[in-house]
Amino acid sequence: MSIRKEEAKDYEIIYSVIKKAFDSTKHADGNERDLVNALRNGDAYIPELSLVAEVDGVIVGHIMFTKAKVEDTVVLALAPLSVLPEYQRQGVGTALIKEGHRIARELNYGYSIVLGSEKYYPRVGYVPADLFGIKAPFDVPRENFMAYKLKDDAGKVCGVLKYAKEFGILTVTCQKSGKKMKSAFARLTMTTLCQIHHLSQMLPGE
Task: Provide the binding-site residues for ligand COA, judged by CB under 6 A.
Answer: 21-22, 24-25, 79-83, 88-94, 116-117, 119-120, 190-192
Q: State in angstroms the smallest separation of the CB of 118 from ligand COA.
A: 8
- The minimum distance between CB 50 and ligand COA, in angstroms, equals 14
Peptide bond into 128 cis (omega under 30): no
Which C-beta is closer to ligand COA: that of 122 or that of 154? Answer: 122
**Choice between 66 and 82, CB closer to ligand COA:** 82
Q: Pick left, alpha or beta for residue 133 (phi over 0 → left; psi -120 to 50 → alpha; otherwise beta).
A: left
Answer whether 199's CB lies under 8 Å from 115's CB. no
Question: Cβ of residue 26: shortest distance to ligand COA, in angstroms?
Answer: 10
If the CB atoms of residues 25 and 108 are measured against ligand COA, the closer one turns out to be 25
Q: Among residues 27 and 180, whose Cβ is nearest to ligand COA?
A: 27
Kindly report the CA angle at 47 between 9 and 142, in degrees rounded to 5?
A: 120
Q: Report the nearest approach of ligand COA to the CB of residue 53 (Å).
A: 8
Q: Which is nearer to ligand COA, 112 or 191 (CB)?
A: 191
Quote the strand ranges of the chain, DSSP E. 2-5, 50-55, 58-70, 73-83, 111-115, 127-128, 134-135, 145-149, 159-162, 169-176, 179-187, 198-204
Distance in angstroms (rounded) separating the CA atoms of residues 62 and 7: 12
Least Å distance between CB 149 and ligand COA?
20
Q: Which residue is nearest to ligand COA (CB)?
A: 93
